[in-house]
Amino acid sequence: MCKVLENRSQQDEERMDQLTNQLKEARLLAEDADGKSDEVSRKLAFVEDELEVAEDRVKSGDSKIMELEEELKVVGNSLKSLEVSEEKLANALVVLSSTAEDEEIEVRISANQRVEEYKRQIKTLTVKLKEAEARAEFAEKSVKKLQKEVDRLEDLLFSDKEKYKAITDDLDQTFAELTGY
């Protein structure tokens, strides 16, 4: 009977040692998982901040594109208006040519001056139109680039959330195993 109790006592001690070792390992795993969880949380916060900044930049780019498109419309309308005025002026020159020669010379000089002025304005507006188109194209490229960055950050955020969930699940499972003994 004494020998049975000794064997039993020895088995209980071995079992306690084994459980103590398992508890130590579980604590180490839990501490490691906590560290990883904290790191993933920090990365997640960083990625969310980057995503917010990128989304703000996209909104800013969109508003800039809208402004440039509006400016482009205004410049285009001004150009059309000047072309119509130039045509009317050319027609007026034809009508005025039937008047007296002196008046004709004065009118032609004045009309030619106005035509030249309109041509200068058309050139200026054409240059502005091209510049506005270039700015609009650049803004569109910037928005596309920013959208790609937003997509990349969203993918990274999703990946980090999945990692965080996996670590949390692993930690919960380890804790459940420990409390099951």
What pLDDT, in 10s, does the model give residues 103-122?
Answer: 656 656 677 788 788 888 88
- Provide the mean pLDDT of the chain: 81
How would residue 82 be classed by pLDDT, with cut points 50, 70 and 90? confident
Q: Is residue 153 packed enough to be buried (19+ CB in 10 Å), middle (13-18) or exposed (0-12)?
A: buried
Q: Which residue has the tokens 């508890």?
A: 23
Question: What is the reported pLDDT for 70?
Answer: 87
pTM for the whole structure: 0.44
Considering only the top CATH level, what class is 18-179?
Answer: mainly alpha
Q: How far apart are CA 57 and CA 144, in angstroms?
A: 11
Q: Are 178 and 82 in contact (CB under 8 A)?
A: no
Return the minimum-mean-pLDDT range out of 21-35, 73-87, 95-109, 140-154.
95-109
Question: What is the reported pLDDT for 98?
Answer: 57
Q: How far apart are CA 97 and CA 164, in angstroms?
A: 86
Question: What is the reported pLDDT for 99?
Answer: 53
In the predicted structure, residue 181 carries a pLDDT above the cut 60? no
